[in-house]
Each structure stands twice: as C-alpha cells, then as structure tokens.
Amino acid sequence: MLEYIIKRVVALIPVLLGITLLVFLAMHFVPGDVAQTLIGEKGGHEEVVKLRHELGLDRPIYVQYGLFLEHAMTGNFGLSYQTLEPATSMVMGAFPVTIQLSFVAILFSILIAIPAGIIAAVRQYSVFDNVLMGGAVLGISMPVFWTGVLLMMLFSLRLHWFPFTGIVSNGISLRTVTGFQLLDALITGNWRAFGDVLRHLVLPGIALGALPMAIIARMMRSSLLEVLGKDYVNTARAKGIRERVVIWKHALRNALLPVVTVVGLQFGNLLCGAILTETVFAMPGIGRLAVTSILFRDYPVVEALVLFTALAVVVVNLLVDVSYAYVDPRIRY
Amino acid sequence: MALRTRWIVGLLVVSLLGIGWTAFAADTPQQGGTLIVATGADPAGGLDPECVMNNEAAFIMATIYNRLVEYAPGSVDIVPGLAASWDISDDGLVYTFHLQQGVLFQDGTPFNAQALKLAFDRLLDPSFPNYYANRKGIDSYVPGTLEANVASYSVVDDNTFKLVLSHPYAPLLQDLAMVWFGIVSPAAVEKYGAEVYKHPVGTGPFEFVDWVPNDHVTVKANPNYWRGKPYLDEIIFKQIPEGSVRTMMLQAGQVDVMMNVPPESISVLDKDPNVDLYRMTALLVNYVQIPRMVKPFNDIRVREALNYAVNKQELSQYLYQGLAKPMQSPIPPGMPDYQPLSPDFSYNPAKAKELLAEAGYPDGFDCNLYTYANPRSYNAAGGKIATALQGYWKKVGINVHVIQLEWGSYLRTVRDPDFSDGMCMSGWTADCGDPDNFLFYLYYGKASNIPHAMTGRPEIDSLIEQERVSADPAQRTTLIDEALQKVWQDAGDVWLTNGVLVRATTAKVHGFQLDPLSMFFYADQIWKEK
C-alpha cells in the first residue's frame, strides 16, 4: 500500500509540470494584452509598452516560463497585478471558503442522494422512483445561478431564514487561526460565529450540491439495482433472510463502492471552483478569485490558482483510490 | 369640556405631536450607524489615490482623503478643499494656495505646507525615496497632468504653498479636485513606503479599517475630521458581483446603498416604497469611432450619413430603457461650456441615403464594426448596441459585419495605433469636470489614447492647443466653443448617447447625493434613520 502511495505521489510531478506548461501557455497566448487590460482605455500606447517592460512581459516566452517554474517550486508566484499581494497568499486565503462550501454541498447531496437512490432502486419503476429520478434530471439541468437566486428569493428575502451573501455576518468578529472559518470558530470557542458561518453556507451549499446530488442519486440507484440482481442476493433471499437485512447488510455495502468513487470525484469537481455559486452568493472563494483574475489577466494569481487546484484534485483522487482499498477487500495495491 | 371631548382632543394632540415628531425626526440627522454600500467589484490597484484603477477604489478613497480643491456636491464647480483659498497669477503660471489651518491627518500628524510638499515630492520627484512609481505594475493619472505641466513647487510658509507651471494649464484645478489627487500623509508614506496602498491615511471624514480582498473594505468615522465628525460610525463597502442579488439585498434592507443599479432592476425599485432612486445625467459619452483616414470614411458625407441613419432617440428609450439621451455635443451636458450644437443629426434615413449617393455610394458599402461584449459605465447594453446599429445601417445600404471581442482582446485590437479595420464602439467617462478632458484625449489629432483617427484637422488641433494654455477664461470659452463646433460638424464619430447615472438607497438613508463624475457620494453628509 505504501509503495502504491509513493508511486502515485511521484507520478504527480510530471502531471503538475504538464499542467503548468498548459496554463502558462494558455494565459500568455489568450488574446488581450495584460498591460493594456491593466491600463484600460485611458492609457496611451507608450504607457502600455512601459508597463509591459516593467512586468517582464517583453522577455522571450521560454525565459518567462523558466522564471515561473523557478518561483513555483518555492510556492512563489509573484505579486498579483491587481492587489500587489503575493499570489500564493491570495489563493491560500480563498481556498478555505471553497473547501468548506464544497464539504457542505457534498454532505447535503449525500444526505439526500443516497437514501433517495436506495429507495428508487428498491421500489424500481414505482411513482417514487420516477419522481426521484425526474428530480435528479432537474438537478442536473437547473443552472446554479438560477437556483441560487431562487433560493435567495425564498429563504432570504421572503422568509429571512438565511443570509443572502458572504461567509460571515458584518457584526461578528472571528479571530483567524487556520483560515477555515468553521474551524477557527470551534478553536476559539466562538459558537455564535460557528452558527453564523454555517448559516451562510446552507443556501450556496444547496445550490452547489444539486448537481452532485442528482449524479450520486442516479449512481446509487443503478449500482444497487445491479447488486440486487446478483446471485448471492437471490441466495440470501432464498435462505429466508428478511428483505431489509438483504438490502442493508448484503447488497448496500457492495453497491456503495462505485458511489464512493463518484462522491470523491464530485468533491474534486466542486473544489475546482464553484464559480457561479460563489459569484451569486458573493463568497470570497477561489471561484470568484478565478473570475476576477482571468478577466484582469492577473497571470500570477491565475497560475497559482490552477496549480493549487490541480494539486487539490489530484490529492482527492489519490485519497479516493486509497480509500477503495479499505472499502473493498478484493483490491490490493 | 365633556370627558369624551377631552379624550378626543387629547388623542388629536398626541397624534399631531407624534406626526410632528416623526417629521422632525426624519429631517434631523441622527448620529451613528453603519452604512453598507454594495459594489460590484474589488478596489483594483489598492487604496493609494494616485494608482486608481476602477470606480470602486475611487468611492473608498473619496471617503479617506481630501484634495486641495473639491467639487461642490452634485456639480463640477470648484470649491475649497484643503486649500481654503487660492490666487492665480495673471499669466496663469503661478498658483498660490492658502491652506486650511488646524487640519490633522488621521494618524495625528499635522497637515501643512511642508506635508503638502512631501506629498508632491512623492508624485513628481523620481529621486524621492518613496516615489509613487517605484511600486511596480501600476497605472497612474499623474503623468498626464502634473508631470507634464508643473515646473516647480515650494513652501512659502506653514500655511501657504506655491505651484509654478511650465506653461498655463487651464484645467489644473479641475484635475486637482479629482479623487486621485487625494493628499496622503507623508508620515504614513515614510512608515509604509510602497505598501502605503494597504495602509491609506488621509485627512478625510473616514479612516481605513480593513480590506478583505473580494469581500469588503471597512472605514470608520474620523472623530477629528476638520469639517466635523461625520454622522455615520462606519461604512462597509461590500462586493456583491451579481446585480439581481444586490437588488434583493437592498429591498430587504441588508445593504443601504447600491452603487451600480442593473437597468432591469430599475422598474422594480421604482415601485418599492422602501427604496429611493437617484438619477443624474453623468459625464459620459457613448459613440462609434470611425477610421477617418480610410475610404469610404474619409468623406464627410459618409460620416454624416452614418450619423443620420441611426435613431438615437429610439436607442435611448428602448435599448437603454430611458437611461440615456442622444448626444448633442462632443461633450456631455453638465460640463462647463456645454450647449446643444447643430446639426442635431436626428434620425433621417432618407437624408442618409442622399448623402451616401452624393458621396458615390448609392448602394451603400460593406464594413466592419468592432465591439466589446460586457456592459460599460457609458454603455449598459454592452455588445447589443452593435446589433442595433447594424440594423439601422442596413436600412440605408451599409452592410456591417459585427466582430465582438472579449474586453481584453478588444482593447488590444482597437488600441493598436495602426488599427483601421473598421469602426469600433467607444466611450469615455470624464476624468475631471473640464471639457479639455474630452477635447484633448478624444478629439485631438496627436492624442495617444486612440488610433490616429483624428489626424488631418490642424484647425481643431490648434484650437485645442490654445485652449489648454489660455489664462483668460472668456477667451478660453470662445476657443472651446469653436473647437467643439468644428469637432461636431466634422462628424468624426457616430455620436450616440450620454448616460444617466442611477444609484439607489433604502428610504432610511438621507444626505446621499450623486455627482456627475460618478465617484463621489459625500459620505460625510449621509445619515441613517435608526
């Protein structure tokens, strides 16, 4: 097992290098000049040329890439063109919000999707099954910026149950320890802040979780159906075991295997920047940061963002694969 | 009096007192409270006034800093700021500022002529240790005004400061009133060096508290503000990118002020009794730049035809939902020396066809129209305007191929000095309240901001050069009037619309005012009902 993990970690390096090259080239060859974008429509041509030189953009592309790699090894991507903060700290500051949001979203989706998928499979072709799977199609189809605004209209504007936007309310002061607002609230014993941050995560969590919920529900259903059709399940039934025990004890555990994979992969997807959700709910996560940085041609931040996100997704995939070995005794690495 | 009568009279008196009290209370400013201002973006470039990159930064800096001179609320008239009064020599070269006395920066250090000199050193002296441009990667307004025009500056005494120009520069005061000439505390500059953009310290009504990127900026009342402590305790500028969400939050009272009102929200907010809408014609122009140096655009009749073929009234009413007015001058209304000019280029497709035939294009011609996609402050419809224009021009035989680019690529393409591949959507927001800002940057043949589409008009160029250095206000007005008339009649652009600025507050907010330059909102006059 350890050998497998080491092999996978070593394999990360060429993957990350490839990603850095792709991102670097994409940003630099996308039409639109950084200096011109920074200066906007007010500056003249000479000012654009001067700024390009200051930013080192007039050097050969391979020199720029070399410098970038050198800095990336030390986690130093330079300063953001927009805020002049280190790009790394901007990304590190934004990541916790997205991670917390993704957790809430995936938790919400699992809590609904797994029972729904099980019931749909057990009562295949029933009204319940059709309604659930129809609901799943809705979940996949509804754009998150629309569901987000609808949720806000109902729960924030009309019912006042949840706040509209952000990660924490204005009046709440929360000391930063880890950067993760929920953890910091727990560590500092600030229950009011903990509750407040949770309340802020509910609506965007639901909006963001709708898509993974739909996918996981359908996966759960089809996986359980497949397992329920297997011989050993029939044998169990023939032995007179109660249906409930057959499902929960014998079928479900095996049916969950592919679902675990899907949950893990979906979590990785969510981490990639819940861009639309974070924009609608004005959450200061990496999705929002990605939008503003790309539009501003803020190369250092975009490069830092993509690398860190790629790293996060790869790590999540690795964890999913490793967890498989624990969940499925047949798998040995 | 019978008991019942007494009760009725008593009730009446109490009710009248209550109404009177409410009316009184609503008019009397109340101290305290936090104002939450919803904006659409982060302050780009930080909070160093000389390095402004967007309006959001400008709003915040207008609360933290004062300028030597300022704009009177709601207008472009110059009134005293940190300079209580000033004298200008007859030749227009020497400005002597008599400074306000007893003013402190928010860090407690005194504002005086020495502090002002250090502030100017930071802007103009490259050998100054904390010269503003030492901070890499910034854009700045300073080179366009101070550097090009100031010969020297000096301290006369504690409260008197002298600025000497290298040649008369008429718009100087208008420039100095802009938000980017906010006076920064020299003590803060010395302490923080190039990082002063993260620790802004000025003399303004509000002090900087914190900035969480992509989330919010907080400022709190400056108790020692020289004009008197502001009513509000605190202002929070919250970034909420999505327009519909800002609207909902305003309606729910979760934010108090909404700076950028999406056009589709206006009718909803108009009907909401808890929301006040503010409108003002802003100093913006929205137009189509024509490549005058290439055929067929080099013929004035073609350019006039392009103007007559577009129904600007219809565009204003429908595409911009009433939030625009047809342009009637190269400068927007509200600018000094503005007046509607003739011809008014009102919609006349028959005349357009006639002009095209005269110019030798009875069947029209084909050409490109470049546009950006996203809405701009001067064009809320974004790329849709190009489609509308395409429709109008088609009716007179001009077949326009619309090329839409993302903003970054758009700028890159159309700002190339050799660009002449077609017409392009353009616009301008005033950098100060002086018509020179439009004349010089948009219509001057040697302007560096735009491709050389304005070349070949020596008469206009000469008028602009003269008005810039004129020390005689009456003579200057004549020069500007003549220049504007010539620019307008030359039809170097397709003149479209001036924008109407719209902002919204909850009904509990009082004292909020608009300003034509779109960046001040007079935070020290605002108070909030509890």
For chain B, percent of residues with pLDDT exceeding 90: 55
**What tokens appear for A39 in the block?**
């200066």
The residue with greater pLDDT, A58 or A44, is A58
Q: What is the pLDDT of residue B9?
A: 63
Residue type at B189?
V
- Which pLDDT value is given to residue B139? 55
Is B130 a residue whose pLDDT tops 60?
yes
Residue type, B200: P
Q: Would you place residue B1 in the very low, low, confident or very high pLDDT band (cuts 50, 70, 90)?
A: low
Collect all residues of chain B within an 8 Å Cβ-Cβ radius of residue A93: 213
The pLDDT value recorded for residue A232 is: 87
| From the candidate CATH numbers 3.10.105.10, 3.30.70.20, 3.90.1420.10, 3.90.320.10, the one assigned to the domain spanning B284-500 | 3.10.105.10
Q: Which whole number is the average pLDDT over B345-358?
A: 95
Peptide bond between residue B343 and the one before it cis (omega within 30 degrees of 0): yes
Q: Count how many pairs of residues, chain A against chain B, have C-beta atoms within 8 Å.
A: 138
- B418: contact with A, CB 8 A cutoff: no
Query: Highest mean pLDDT: which of A72-86, A312-326, B187-201?
Result: B187-201
Greater model confidence, A247 or B314: B314
pLDDT at B136 over 80: no
Say if the Cβ atoms of B412 and A31 lie within 8 Å. Answer: yes
d(CA A39, CA A44): 9
pLDDT value at B454 more than 80: no
> Can you give the pLDDT at residue B26?
54
- Among the partner residues B236, B240, B428, nearest to A170 by beta-carbon distance: B236
ipTM of the complex in this document:
0.79
User: Closest Cα partner for B196 from A10, A84, A254?
Assistant: A84
Of the CATH numbers 3.40.190.10, 3.30.413.10, 1.10.10.10, 2.60.40.10, which one belongs to the domain with range B4-256+508-528?
3.40.190.10
Alpha-carbon span A235 to B186, nearest angstrom: 86
Return the SS3 of B226. coil
Report the pLDDT value the prediction gives residue B448, as an integer from 0 to 100: 59
User: Which band of pLDDT confidence, cut at 50, 70 and 90, is reported for residue B131?
Assistant: confident
Q: Mean pLDDT throughout B379-404?
A: 93
pLDDT at A251: 86
**If phi over 0 gives left and psi between -120 and 50 gives alpha, with beta otherwise, what is residue B518?**
left
- % of chain A beyond a pLDDT of 90: 29
Residue B53 has pLDDT above 70, yes or no: no
B242 pLDDT tier (thresholds 50, 70, 90): confident
Q: What residues in B contact A30, CB-CB < 8 Å?
A: 408-409
Question: Which range has the worst mean pLDDT, B103-117, B137-151, B237-251?
Answer: B137-151
Q: What is the mean pLDDT of the segment spanning B105-133?
A: 89
Q: Is the pLDDT of residue B297 over 80?
A: yes
Whether B528 shows a pLDDT value over 90: the answer reads yes
Q: How confident is the model at residue B519 (pLDDT cuts 50, 70, 90)?
A: confident
Average pLDDT over residues A269-290: 87
Strand partners, B280: B501
Question: Residue A113's pLDDT band (boundaries 50, 70, 90)?
Answer: very high
- Residue A294 pLDDT exceeds 60: yes
Residue A85 touches partner B, C-beta closer than 8 Å? yes
Nearest to A82 by CA among B138, B495, B447: B138
Q: What is the mean pLDDT of chain A?
A: 85
- State whether residue A164 sits within 8 Å of chain B by CB: yes
B4-256+508-528 and B284-500, same CATH topology: no
More confident: B33 or A29? B33
Q: Are A139 and A210 in contact (CB under 8 A)?
A: yes
pLDDT for A27 beyond 80: no
Separation of alpha carbons A312 and A322, rounded Å:
15
pLDDT at B320 over 90: no
Q: Is B240 on the interface with A (CB under 8 A)?
A: yes
Ranges of H-type helices in A229-298: 231-238, 243-245, 252-271, 275-280, 286-295
Q: With a CB-CB cutoff of 8 Å, which residues 17-56 of chain B face chain A?
A: 34, 36, 41-42, 44-46, 53
- Apex CA A241: angle with CA A237 and CA A245, to 5°? 105
Q: What is the pLDDT of residue A249?
A: 83
Looking at residue B369, its pLDDT comes to 95
- Those residues with Cβ within 8 angstroms of residue B42's Cβ, 6 or more apart along the chain or in another chain: A82, A83, A292, B56, B213, B214, B239
Which of B54, B214, B247 to probe the A interface (max A CBs under 10 A)? B214
Q: Which chain A residues touch B406 with a CB distance below 8 Å?
A: 31-32
- The verdict on a CB contact (< 8 Å) between A82 and B42 is yes
> Which chain A residue shows the shortest CA-CA distance from B248?
A157
Domain boundaries, chain B: 4-256+508-528, 284-500
State which of A8-22, A44-58, A66-80, B424-438 shows the largest mean pLDDT.
B424-438
Lowest mean pLDDT across A296-305, B216-225, B384-393: A296-305
User: Can you tell me the distance from the alpha carbon of A65 to that of A315, in angstroms, rounded to the nearest whole number?
Assistant: 25
pLDDT at B375 over 90: no
**More confident: B255 or B530:** B255
pLDDT of residue B526: 95
> B interface mutation test: which of A29, A34, A83, A144 has the most B CBs within 10 A?
A83
Q: Is A82 close to B34, i.e. CB distance below 8 A?
A: no
Q: CB-hemisphere CA count at 13 Å for A316? A: 22
pLDDT over 90 (residue B306): yes
pLDDT of residue A293: 86
Residues of chain B contacting A163 with CB distance shorter than 8 Å: 254
User: Confidence class of residue B140 from pLDDT cuts 50, 70 and 90?
Assistant: low
- Residue range B258-275, pLDDT digits in tens: 988 887 888 899 999 999
Beta-carbon contacts of B501 under 8 Å, excluding residues fewer than 6 positions away, are B278, B279, B280, B281, B282, B284, B514, B516, B518
Residues 6+ apart with CB under 8 A from B483: B439, B443, B460, B463, B464, B467
Of the CA atoms within 13 Å of residue A78, those in its CB half-sphere come to 19
Tell me how close the Cα of A211 comes to any Cα of chain B, in angstroms: 21
Question: CA A300, CA A304: separation in Å to the nearest integer?
Answer: 6
Task: Choose among A42, A85, A279: nearest Cβ to B242.
Answer: A279
Q: Which residues pair with B509 in a beta bridge?
A: B528
Q: Is the pLDDT of residue B19 over 60?
A: no
